[in-house]
Amino acid sequence: MADNDGSAGIGWFLAGLGFGALLGVLYAPKSGRETREDLAASARDARERAEQLVDQGREQLDRYVDRGKEYAERGRTQWSQYVDRSRGFVNEQQDKISAAVDAGKQAYQSTTTETHS
């Protein structure tokens, strides 16, 4: 929500600047040359302020991008850890099942050899 206020603020700033310049032209007891110089100075000031706001926006965007990259890397690392743990668990369970099957085979063979003997 704060980002929207910043862009709206730029629009209101520029609108107020234009309105103030217009009022200044209409009510100023200055010569045409002085008025044009004042308008040019106001326009330069507005351009400088707009450039500052654009630079601030770029810096903030860069921070957001860097933060997003950090979060993505953290997520990738966690995902890899979960996958590795899962593989380890599956391998462990597979070994237990194989051991149980082998024990069952041996028990069956010992039982069947005892009954046949």
Q: Is-above-0.85 flag for pTM?
A: no
CB 39 within 8 A of CB 21: yes
pLDDT of residue 98: 93
Structural domain spans, the chain: 2-82
Q: Which residue numbers in the chain have pLDDT < 50?
A: 1-2
If DSSP codes are grouped into helix, strand and coil, which group holds residue 84?
A: helix
Q: Which of 54, 24, 55 is nearest to 40 (CA)?
A: 24
CB 56 within 8 A of CB 85: no
Q: Give me the DSSP letters along 18-32.
A: HHHHHHHHHH----H
**Interatomic CA distance for residues 63 and 69, integer angstroms:** 10
pLDDT of residue 2: 47
pLDDT of residue 20: 81
Give 63-88 pLDDT, tens digit per residue.
999 999 999 999 999 999 999 999 99
